[in-house]
Amino acid sequence: MRNYVQRGDTLDIVAAAAVASGDVVIKGAIVGVSNVDAEIGDTFALDVVGVFTLPKVAALAIGQGDVVYWDSANGVVTKTAGGNTKLGVATEAVPNPSASVAVRLNGAF
């Protein structure tokens, strides 16, 4: 197939801000988790598919299969859609309180 570019699970992205490995990065409609540290202007690998342990609102119970969102202002996973970016689904149930949750990134919205 001559028009195949790549699988698309990991994308090369140009950093608009400094990022650390494991950070959630949002670039337009692309949402993923950084593989490496990068400075502004660096091209880096961003995973857009997979399951990642991410920080969450501590006082929030999340059920397995719940749709979750990224609260950029606070740098945490939440279940609140308003003003937040859709991230994926929780792959585990976590109680209130807890510091993190495993999230399967959706890959495309």
Whole-prediction pTM value? Answer: 0.93
User: What pLDDT score does 75 carry?
Assistant: 97
Q: Which long-range contacts (CB under 8 A, 24 or more apart) does 23-30 make?
A: 24/54, 24/70, 24/75, 24/87, 26/70, 26/72, 26/85, 29/109
With a cut of 90, say whether residue 109 has pLDDT above it. no
Q: What average pLDDT does the structure give for the chain? A: 95
Quote the CA–CA distance of 88 and 92 in Å, as a whole number. 12
With a cut of 70, say whether residue 83 has pLDDT above it. yes
User: What pLDDT score does 108 carry?
Assistant: 65
With a cut of 90, say whether residue 68 has pLDDT above it. yes
In sequence order, what are the beta bridge partners of 44? Answer: 13
With a cut of 90, say whether residue 106 has pLDDT above it. no
User: Over the stretch 16-65, which tens digit does the pLDDT of each residue have?
Assistant: 999 999 999 999 999 999 999 999 999 999 999 999 999 999 999 999 99
